Amino acid sequence: MLQSPNSSESRPTTASLRPDEWQLLVTARPNVLLEGPLEVTDAIVGEAMGWLAGPHATWTGTPPVSDRPATLVVRSVSALDPEQQQALLDWLDAPGERIQVISTTIDPLYPLVSRGAFLANLYYRLNVLLLEVATNHGAES
């Protein structure tokens, strides 16, 4: 069982992060890039949502219309086209409260950056903490 850093409540962990990675994710609040299978990265994001600072928003190709969220989730970040990448980078660079960005991708981003298919500035902004995940074969407790 993984213990929530914000309470004494324990939850079963189905995703493939170590407890120290969970602790860092929810307490230090770095921008996190999760690379791995979609079902695993989605499971991690789903489990983390209850512990991440709220309010939450999901990037849908355009900036969230409500107030600036505390946590922004960007699913399948490698699928963003160049205009969406630039819009996301511009929005992240806008003045305002610091937010935590949790991004997921099935494709490693660095090769895309090397080919010029993904903005280097956005990659380095999102990749403060890179967690490469795989299909879980037995969760850690």
**Domain extents in the chain:** 30-132
**CB 135: neighbour CB atoms within 10 A?**
9
Whether residue 88 contacts residue 59, with contact meaning beta carbons closer than 8 Å, is answered with yes
User: What's the pTM value of the predicted model, to 2 decimals?
Assistant: 0.81
Architecture in CATH of 30-132:
3-Layer(aba) Sandwich (3.40)
Alpha carbon distance 1, 17 (integer Å): 12
List pLDDT tens digits, range 86-104: 999 999 998 888 899 999 9
pLDDT, position 92: 92
> Is residue 12 pLDDT above 70, yes or no?
no
pLDDT, position 61: 84
List pLDDT tens digits, range 50-91: 888 889 999 988 888 777 899 999 999 999 999 999 999 999
- Name the band, by pLDDT with cuts 50, 70 and 90, for residue 15: low
- Name the band, by pLDDT with cuts 50, 70 and 90, for residue 13: very low
**CB 107: neighbour CB atoms within 10 A?**
14
